Chain A
Amino acid sequence: MKLIENIGKFLIKLFSSFGKFILFILFFFKYLFKPKFYLKNNLSYFVNIFISSIPIIALTGIFSGMVLALQSYTGFSRFSAESAIPNIVVLTLTRELGPVLTGLMISARVGSSIAAEIATMRVTEQIDALKTLNTNYYNYLVTPRVLSLTLALPIFVTLVDFIGVMGGYIVSVHRLGFNDNLYLLNTIDFLSLGDYLSGIFKAFTFGFIISIVSCYCGLFSDKGAFGVGSATTNAVVISSVLILSSNYFLTELFF
């Protein structure tokens, strides 16, 4: 009996959290199209996210491209298809690895920081202080973070795509002995706008997922240091799972 009761409690909690999350998203859109829009706050948050994430994005891109070239060579050389490496590198990066790896890295880098910051604000009553100062926390806290990350992720993915292709180029030309001009020509010829745009669409989606989940986890965290810790962990875990699962459906969409 106790087991059934506990399962019931768990399911009620799960569904009520899901319902709360859906309401949170609806409220975000409601306030997005209402004044007040704090332009200065939005811009400064965008710049902050952008500058702080560039190093991690560059490293993700370069090493992904380099490893991809090496691993492709290992497989393709077995049936003499080495010439397909530039095509595979650019296609895999733009359609798949670029958006997914960037999403996962940004969820760890920015998502965790959003959740921790907002949860700390909640614990220290700064969210209540915002309300007493007649400031809507959707407009002041949620909108700048969600808009900034949703708009920044496609830029990050473009950078990862470019740097990744360059990583593949460096390994292919200097380590595997490819002709440099031929490698670049094959890359450019094979890449279509559709491939790039499918990755960018994924990036928009992942940016929205990371930011909205992180804001939610922060705003509805439990009190105390434990609450801040769980909010941060939940933000990264839930964002990562949602990125990986939604990636399948988005891939089906562009298949």
Chain B
Amino acid sequence: MKIEIKNLKKKFNENFVLKDISLTLEKNKSTIILGESGCGKSVLIKTIYKLFGFDSGSILYDGKSEVDIDKFSMLFQYGALFDSLKISENIAFTDFINNKTNFERKVHSLMNDVGLNKSIFNRYPSELSGGMKKRVALARALYKNPKVIFLDEPTTGLDPINSDKINDLILKVVAKRKITAVTITHDIKSAIKTGDKYYFIDNGIIQDNGDCKKILKTKNKIFKSFISGAKY
């Protein structure tokens, strides 16, 4: 699915978080959204997902303003797993709460895809490490076979080795399932590895965009400062 955003504005209590955002999320490509904490990246993807409304501008999904959000999935920053449910019930959440019982095979197959051991099938989220929780959350996001997957800082809170494993996993599942991926990250290394195109947001507007493989060659001063960690 191709998503086109034009002149998007969104405010909370009179403060504009998104001042004028225009970008295109290409079909079956991986787009990376970069920016400082609090610059509105999460608000942007939640607005695209229709979890929030917006004040002005337009979002077109394959040319239409309406979309069935069942085609979307999201991996939340800290997993957002349901504490009171087992891992299998978390992954197959919609089937589980609708009393469907034949989800075991699909869950096992997804657990295998994201590199989870079957032994955690009946365990609870509180018993898992951060990396495992992210994998479970990714399996849950993939359960409904989405056309677009939104990944909100998938490597946050993970050590470099686990971050790299999660990045490999994202690359693998996005390529295998041919889905459009939108990833929020602060991590330049992850952006270069997993993305096709990047957008850098600062102060509610797009400051820079381009090919992820050429991130380090950017000429934008603000983005350069962001990459180097220097104050601008």
Instruction: Please determine whether A126 and B80 come into contact, CB atoms closer than 8 angstroms.
Output: yes
Provide the residues of chain B in CB contact with A133, threshold 8 Å: 93-94, 140, 144
A171 to B171, CA, bound (A): 74
Give A128 to B50 CA distance when docked, in angstroms: 11
Contacts of A29 in B (CB 8 A): none
User: How large, as a class, is the contact surface on chain B?
Assistant: 20 to 34
A134 contacts B74, CB within 8 Å?
Answer: no
Q: Which of B82-124 contact A (CB under 8 A)?
A: 82-83, 93-94, 97-99
User: Using an 8 Å CB-CB cutoff, how does the interface string of A103-144 with B read, 1 for contact, 0 for none?
Assistant: 000000000000000000000111011011111000010000
A131 to B94 alpha-carbon distance, docked (Å): 11
B226 within 8 A of A: no
Closest residue of chain B to A139, judged by CB? B97
- Which residues of the other chain, A, contact B94 by a CB distance below 8 angstroms? 133-135
Chain A contact surface mostly: helix
Asked if residues B97 and A128 are in contact (CB atoms below 8 Å), the reply is no
Q: Which residues of B contact A78 (CB under 8 A)?
A: none
Query: Are B78 and A125 in contact (CB-based, < 8 A)?
Result: yes
A30 at the binding interface (Cβ < 8 Å): no
The answer for the CA separation of A126 and B85 in the assembled complex, in Å, is 12
Contact mask for chain A residues 84-102; partner B; CB cutoff 8 A; 1 contact, 0 none: 0000000000000000000
A37-65, CB < 8 A from B: 38-41
Q: Please report the number of residue pairs spanning A and B whose Cβ atoms sit closer than 8 angstroms.
A: 45
Whether A128 contacts B99 by the Cβ 8 Å rule is no
* Main SS at interface, chain B: loop
User: In chain A, residues 14-42, which have Cβ atoms closer than 8 Å to a Cβ of chain B?
Assistant: 36, 38-41
In angstroms, Cα B73 to Cα A129, docked, is 9
Q: Is the CB of A132 within 8 A of B93?
A: no
B200 at the interface (CB under 8 A from A): no
Q: How far is the CB of A134 from chain B (nearest CB, A)?
A: 5
Please state if A134 and B70 are interface contacts (CB–CB under 8 Å): yes
Separation of A124 and B98 alpha carbons in the complex (Å): 24
> Are B80 and A129 neighbours in the complex by a CB distance under 8 Å?
yes
Which B36-85 residues sit within 8 Å CB-CB of chain A?
46, 49, 51, 69-70, 72-74, 76-78, 80-83
Q: Is the CB of B93 within 8 A of A135?
A: yes
Chain B residues with CB under 8 A of A140? 97
Cβ contacts under 8 Å, A126 to chain B = 80-83
Q: List 20 A-B contacts (CB under 8 A).
A: A36-B98, A38-B97, A39-B99, A41-B97, A124-B78, A125-B77, A125-B78, A126-B82, A128-B51, A129-B74, A129-B76, A129-B80, A131-B51, A132-B49, A132-B51, A132-B72, A134-B69, A134-B94, A135-B94, A140-B97
User: Which residues of B are at the interface with A, using a C-beta cutoff of 8 A?
Assistant: 46, 49, 51, 69-70, 72-74, 76-78, 80-83, 93-94, 97-99, 140, 144
The 3 closest A-B pairs by CB, nearest first: A129-B80, A125-B80, A132-B74
Query: Which residue numbers of A lie inside 8 Å of B, CB to CB?
Result: 36, 38-41, 124-126, 128-129, 131-135, 140
Contacts A36-B98, A40-B99, A124-B78 aside, 19 further interface pairs with beta carbons under 8 A come to A38-B97, A40-B97, A41-B97, A125-B77, A125-B80, A126-B81, A126-B83, A128-B46, A128-B51, A128-B80, A129-B74, A129-B76, A129-B82, A132-B49, A132-B51, A132-B72, A132-B73, A135-B93, A135-B94
